[in-house]
Structure 1
Amino acid sequence: MFKATRQWLWDKGINWLNAVPPADSQGSAYCNFDFLEHEVRPGDVLLFAGQTRVSKVIQMVTLSPWTHAALYVGRINDIRDPQVREKLQTHYAGSPNDKLVVESLLGYGTVANPLSAYREEHLRICRPSGLDWRDADIVVNVAIEHLGMGYDVQQLMDLARFLFPYGILPRRWRSSLFQHNAGQPTHIICSSMIARCFQHVHYPILPVIHNNQSEHPVSLEERDFRLFIPSDFDYSPYFEVIKYPAWHFSDQPAYRRLPWQHSGLAPVTSETASSSQLLPSA
């Protein structure tokens, strides 16, 4: 009885945290989803500026608008490794032609969802600059291997406590992120999951830089994957930030606004252009 009651309270709390407050439910998609959907590549990190209650808490703690991160893995048929492709199929019941992301969600764990489910969200692409396609495959495969893992609520709370000023917290409230047995190997949060994927190919996000007194004056050290938050992919100099604004300043391409001399002729536009106008007469 007590266990069932505790589970009921837990589910109610998770649903409340994942809900969008009525005052914020009008939507705020600032990106052109059609462009983003066309241009996204496997291995890209997608950042979300969420509107849920838990997203507001994450924004306040991290001082960043980015509250969630997901890894784009492409379509099921894009996965080259047959075993990995089979695992993705077992965790996604939709069309094999759907474009998918792998993400760790509070209340759901690590799951595969269609990119189209986020059409109304404010998204940003963070693309690992110069990532080899073979390493991109490894990053995608490692992400798919995380499917089915639970969401590490303890790690989320530890990370929140770690980000608060250390001295003002009682010792019993301080983060356990650096303890030997901190966290569970079967649970993880969104940004940590993605960080682990890139660490498999030693791709830097925000590495620790050491200045050495040796023949190699600078060396890099990987940060603990538990310490990453979504905005780190935005801040990282090793990721290209790609934006697709929902509104354009002009409907005409830039080259159509160049100051060409037309010898008295009206400039060519999409409405006036035709084969009879553009080809010289015989």
Structure 2
Amino acid sequence: MNTADQIKRLRHRLTAPVVKWLGKESRPLGMPRNDFARLCEHLVPADVVLVEGRSRVSGVIQSVTLSAWTHAALYLGTLEEVAARGSDVEALRRDGVADNTPILLEAELGEGVHLSPITRYRHEHLRLCRPRELTAEDAETVVAFCLERLGTPYNLRQITDLLRFFFPYGLLPRRWRSTLFEVGHGEMARTICSTLIARAFASVRYPILPTLHRGSDGGVVFHRRNARLITPRDFDHSPYFDIIKYPFFGDDVARYRELRWDDETAP
């Protein structure tokens, strides 16, 4: 084993317990607020799936971004479709993932960029964000851009930045606090998943939350935001992404008076 491999193995041994602790769930599982089966049926490649996380690291992201959405993943297609693109899906098949299972691409702390079946979020609160009027050609480019980054490792600085939030404010010297985590700047992207997805949409010049300025001729000029400043909530807030919801009672909301409530007292 060469020196580089020894250093890599040592880093993994040192960081793995910390990553496990940060990823541990800190809030109980609640009742999901969407029809998971219907959501899976209507997914389209390049859709962004937001997740309301419940781990310790999710709590940090929620406090800094002031949003419940702590994770973003990109929908690629079914396992069979992802395999047809040339991606290695044998590990997922060995885990029993069926060919018709929707597959997400995610960038996670401790995992790097990898593929996951959407079924891992079956019991979580999800939101589907669809880029409005994105062409099929550009959707293909967005998906390909992300697939080319499969296996990209996470940055060790992510762990140290996150751990600082578990010390009482003022206990650590101010100079030790990362500028990536100043409240109000939205600069959490080095630690969360949305940077890669934002870069993928930037590759086809599709807007998420651009800054607008007046040009010299008085016309509006779009200025692309740094992808590192994009957080999961920005896909929810973007006027260029449609929010697709699939409530449990489906499209029959007109029968809302027949819904079963715990309080049966008439108004």
Common fold: TM-score over 0.5? yes
Match in the other structure for 2:24: 19
Cα distance change of structure 1 residues 201 and 3 upon mapping to structure 2, 3 Å threshold: closer
Match in the other structure for 1:230: 232
The answer (yes or no) to whether the contact 1:76–1:88 under 8 Å persists in 2 is no
Alignment partners' CA distance in 2, 1:3 and 1:137: 34
Alignment partners' CA distance in 2, 1:227 and 1:136: 22
Q: CA deviation at 1:213?
A: 2.5
Match in the other structure for 1:173: 177
The answer (yes or no) to whether the contact 1:208–1:221 under 8 Å persists in 2 is yes
Match in the other structure for 2:41: 38
The answer (yes or no) to whether the contact 1:155–1:226 under 8 Å persists in 2 is no
Where does 1:82-231 land on structure 2 (aligned, <5 Å)? Answer: 85-89=85-89, 92-93=92-93, 94-154=97-157, 170-171=174-175, 173-175=177-179, 189-214=192-217, 217-231=219-233
Unpaired runs of 5+ residues, structure 1, are 162-168, 178-186, 258-282
What amino acid is the match of 2:222?
Answer: L
What amino acid is the match of 2:145?
Answer: V
Q: CA deviation at 1:146?
A: 1.3
Alignment partners' CA distance in 1, 2:148 and 2:90: 12
Alignment partners' CA distance in 1, 2:124 and 2:234: 20
Q: CA deviation at 1:156?
A: 8.0
What amino acid is the match of 2:231?
Answer: I
Cα distance change of structure 1 residues 253 and 54 upon mapping to structure 2, 3 Å threshold: closer
User: Is residue 2:253 matched to residue 1:244?
Assistant: no
Match in the other structure for 2:167: none
Alignment partners' CA distance in 2, 1:7 and 1:118: 26
Note the alpha carbon deviations across 1:142-162, whole angstroms, 9 max, x for none: 11111100123536877999x
Alignment partners' CA distance in 1, 2:69 and 2:49: 10
Q: CA deviation at 1:244?
A: 1.6
**Structure 1 residue matching 2:133: 3-state secondary structure:** coil
**Structure 1 residue matching 2:89: 3-state secondary structure:** helix
Note the alpha carbon deviations across 1:219-238, whole angstroms, 9 max, x for none: 11111111111000001110
Cα distance change of structure 1 residues 106 and 18 upon mapping to structure 2, 3 Å threshold: same
Larger Rg: 1
Report the RMSD for the aligned CA atoms in angstroms.
3.2
Match in the other structure for 1:10: 15
User: Is residue 2:76 matched to residue 1:73?
Assistant: yes
Note the alpha carbon deviations across 1:176-205, whole angstroms, 9 max, x for none: 79xxxxxxxxx8741001001101100000
Alignment partners' CA distance in 2, 1:39 and 1:19: 31
**Structure 2 residue matching 1:127: 3-state secondary structure:** strand
Cα distance change of structure 1 residues 243 and 152 upon mapping to structure 2, 3 Å threshold: farther
Alignment partners' CA distance in 1, 2:18 and 2:226: 29
- Aligned pair count? 232
What amino acid is the match of 2:234?
Answer: D
What amino acid is the match of 2:174?
Answer: P
Q: CA deviation at 1:19?
A: 1.0
The answer (yes or no) to whether the contact 1:151–1:189 under 8 Å persists in 2 is no
What amino acid is the match of 1:221?
Answer: H
Alignment partners' CA distance in 1, 2:7 and 2:143: 41
Cα distance change of structure 1 residues 206 and 75 upon mapping to structure 2, 3 Å threshold: same
Where does 1:41-56 land on structure 2 (aligned, <5 Å)? Answer: 41-56=44-59
